[in-house]
């Protein structure tokens, strides 16, 4: 069964979000658009990155895809939510390794630097790649969880 995908973007990632949403629906994914619903030139990426991240951690098995101009700002805010492992997906190899090694659950795309066709390939690679469950990666993610607990509490 395909996971639910929560998506969101500010003005700089809005067009890319719309293209990714269309692609995901064509592929049979349930997509929940967390905004922005329309292109609003003075909106702010923290609003959408946070909304998507919160939904991903409260809906087990789901994933998130967010976009802003360079993907960094929205990635930073998504990673402020305990349990989120947000990564920038600037190419297929990075997206794949973020799943095999880091079990990433939020993919952040740079609206200023990716065309829709490239983004579709990256998203397809990311969604189609399982976590390797290799001992070293499980150990490292456990350390990340321990740090989250220290920094954010239970």
Query: Distance (Å, rounded) from C-alpha 13 to C-alpha 39?
Result: 9
Mark whether 68 is an active-site residue.
yes
Contact 132, 97 (CB under 8 A): no
- Find out whether 74 and 106 touch, Cβ atoms under 8 Å: no
Conformational region of residue 33, where left means phi above 0, alpha means psi within -120 to 50, and beta covers everything else: beta
Helix axes 116-128, 92-100, angle to 10 degrees: 20
DSSP-assigned letter for residue 105: -
Q: Are 120 and 19 in contact (CB under 8 A)?
A: yes
Give yes or no for a contact between 123 and 63, defined as CB atoms under 8 angstroms apart.
no
Q: Are 16 and 116 in contact (CB under 8 A)?
A: yes
Which of 5, 66, 68, 84 is the catalytic position? 68
Q: Which residues are catalytic?
A: 68
């Amino acid at each position: 069964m395909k996971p639910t995908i929560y998506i969101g973007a500010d003005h700089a990632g809005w067009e890319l979000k719309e293209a990714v949403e269309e692609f995901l629906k064509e592929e049979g994914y349930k997509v929940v658009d967390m905004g922005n619903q329309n292109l609003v030139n003075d909106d702010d990426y923290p609003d959408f990155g946070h909304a998507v991240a919160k939904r991903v951690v409260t809906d087990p098995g789901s994933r998130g895809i967010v976009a802003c101009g360079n993907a960094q700002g929205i990635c930073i805010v998504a990673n402020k939510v305990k349990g989120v492992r947000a990564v920038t997906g600037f190419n297929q190899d990075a997206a794949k390794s973020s799943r095999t090694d880091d079990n990433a659950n939020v993919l952040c795309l740079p609206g200023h630097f990716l065309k829709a066709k490239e983004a579709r390939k990256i998203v397809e690679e990311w969604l189609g790649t399982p976590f390797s469950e290799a001992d070293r990666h499980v150990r490292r993610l456990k350390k990340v969880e321990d740090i989250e607990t220290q920094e954010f509490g239970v």
